[in-house]
Structure 1
Amino acid sequence: MKDRLGISPEDVMHKIARDVMDDYDESLELEMEDGMLGAPFAAGMTEHDYQYFRELLRLQGELVKLQDWVQHTGQKVVVLFEGRDAAGKGGVIKRITQRLNPRVVRVAALPAPNDRERTQWYFQRYVAHLPAAGEIVLFDRSWYNRAGVEKVMGFCTNDQYEEFFRTVPDFEKMLVSSGILLVKYWFSITDEEQHLRFLGRIHDPLKQWKLSPMDLQSRVRWEEYTKAKEVMLERTHIPEAPWWLVHADDKKKARLNCIAHFLAQVPYADVDHENVVLPERIRHPDYSRLPVPASMYVPEVY
């Protein structure tokens, strides 16, 4: 029996199976190297999956080059990821950071403001996470919370909401004029796809932690969130920091499209590195390792 959006229990089970495979893919991606994408590795893969893995690995190689260039030139980069709940923002952030240096590329995912932060200048707690020279910061949700969840859920007043729209263009222009490259992404999914992803989380014990009361309210208030998004895009799409929309119903395509687009926004180039020579280890004939009690070792269960 299907629900009002035409989604059957079989659709939900298929969605759970796809998400389980996506988690498996994430582990696989971390182990991948170019040589692994030969015939033995590809056996049993669909052509779609094979092409996804190849292209993801290629793009991640470019991200490493971008990282080197950012460090070498002292560039400062900020990327905002906004969108519907369950739209796949976290998935693309993971694929961007998988092979990068966490000292260079950081993720800022701020919790709800505490009592003290609520009395501060609205942008203050975000400013603390902005990059220094040679750093990239990825915001998993950002100051645009005020234009979305805070507006829809009544967590800000109308005056605060309007003040945000009055000041955010100047704030972002200030960031750009200070030398920060600012890129803003909105991940867009359909009503039906979000509904299906939420059902998948409800029925998958490994994903239930991802559901919060706020997520559930986003289903109830779908149209209010849509209106808030439309106002946000209209009032904050500025030449210095335009919005870019990512079609995200297909997670894998969304990841590749977003990463490829991000790479195109940064004028990076190859950085020459000196050849690394591994030095010889110094050995002393009078040195011997001290014995370690067997009780200190982790049991080898596997």
Structure 2
Amino acid sequence: MLLGIFALDVTQVLSELELTIQKVKVTTTPDGRVLDLFFITDNMELLHTKERQDDTYKQLNAVLGESCISCELKLVGPEYERHHGISSLSPAIAEELFRFELSDKETRSQALSPDMAKLKKASVVIDNSLSPVHTLLQIVCVDHKGLFYDVLRTLKDCNIKIAYGRFSLNSKGYRDLDLFIQQNDGKKIVDPDKQDGLCSRLRMEMLHPLRVIISNRGPDTELLVANPVELSGKGRPRVFYDVTQALKSLGICIFSAEIGRYSSSEREWEVYRFLLDENCKFKFSSIGARNQIVDRVRRLLMGW
């Protein structure tokens, strides 16, 4: 479906309606008005029904009020496929965005801030002595938004089942997780290589669940946010909404946005690309301004 509307805050409504944004195009008309085109898909697969469309119209109009001049839902045609191609990433950007881990000495826009450095203290331990049929997985790490999601999707991708578990938050902002797990065959994880591989994978996912950088795209400035795609093909929820809210809080407008899938290092990534409007208070040529944008976006995504 293609959604034409005149406000960026529509992302909140679409998120609540379980409508996934695939691409956004923003156009300014000569008379100063703005046309936003949202290419969306319906997670419930009901957007072809009148009831679903009416509910979408109702909720959008309730939020946007008089700022919305018109709102229209249309089924896209063949022309969408011609314009739906995702631009490729340069090798340098791909290397920075998808690299396995980051160093404290990085000079790039993803250099570890004190908040990010705290993530490196994550502890992942496996214990087979407490249960005759389950492996105990003990995790201690700094809390962040989506932590349970990151742990559960990683275990799912590794074909690990959770029998039961306990979650607690300590006074220093760290989360303690005790999970009793099994392999898909119902057996404990006793192979040392499998244990090491699982612990290493979990540490990596908790160290750096999202990648955020700013780069130049020709004469323009582009914000890129990447997250791993589950083996089931699903991406991380609410990323588009969180990023747009972070940019809005900084007074930065989005000229265009697109979402694409990229394969790197034997895994697939979902990458959100935002071309930023230069007409704002930030000087995108400034390293300090770029770091401030990356920090705000990352903090909102992590819930800090």
Specify the TM-score bucket, using the shorter chain as the normaliser.
under 0.3
More strand by share: 2
More helix by share: 1
Normalized against structure 1, the TM-score is what?
A: 0.22
Normalized against structure 2, the TM-score is what?
A: 0.22
Q: Which has the higher contact order (CA 8 A, sep 6+)?
A: 1
